[in-house]
Amino acid sequence: MSISPPATASAITPVLTPDAVSSAPALIHWNEADEERSALWRSERGALPPKRMVLADDTTSADTAYRLACEGTGLLWRGDFQNARQLVQALARRIDKPPKASKQARVERKKAADAAVSGVPAGQAFHLHRQAQSQRARVLGMVLIEFGADYGIALRRAPDARPACTEAWGPADGASSACVASLRELMGVISAHEWRKKGVEIPALGKAPNNRIHPHYGVFSPVRGEYVELVAKAPLPTLRPNKFVAFDIGTGTGVLSAVLALRDIDQVVATDQDPRALACARENLQRLRLPNPVKVMQADLFPEGLASVIVCNPPWLPARPGSPLEGTVYDEGSRMLLGFLKGLPAHLAHGGEGWLILSNFAEQLGLRTRAELLAAIKDSGLKVLGRMDATPDHPKVADESDPLHAARAAEVTSLWRLGAA
State residue 247's pLDDT score.
98
Angle at 292 (CA atoms; ends 289, 298), nearest 5 degrees:
85
For every residue of 11-35, DSSP letters joined together read EE--EE-GGGGSSSPEEEEEEETTE
- Structural domains in the chain plus CATH codes: 11-195 (no CATH), 200-420 (3.40.50.150)
Residue 297 confidence (pLDDT): 97
Express each pLDDT in 353-379 by its tens digit: 999 999 999 999 999 999 999 999 999
- Residue burial 42-58, b: 16+ Cβ < 10 Å; e: rest: bbbbebebbebbbbbbe
pLDDT at 222: 93
In tens, the pLDDT along 102-132 reads 566 556 655 655 554 445 566 677 888 888 8
Rg (CA), the chain: 24
Q: What is the pLDDT of residue 258?
A: 97
Question: Which segments of the chain have a pLDDT < 50?
Answer: 1-23, 116-118
The pLDDT of residue 403 is: 75
Q: What angle do CA 82, 86, 92 make, to 5 degrees?
A: 145
What's the CA gap between 206 and 372, in Å, rounded?
Answer: 37
Tell me the CA end-to-end span of the chain in Å, nearest whole number: 64
The pTM assigned to this predicted structure is 0.86
Position 28 scores a pLDDT of: 78
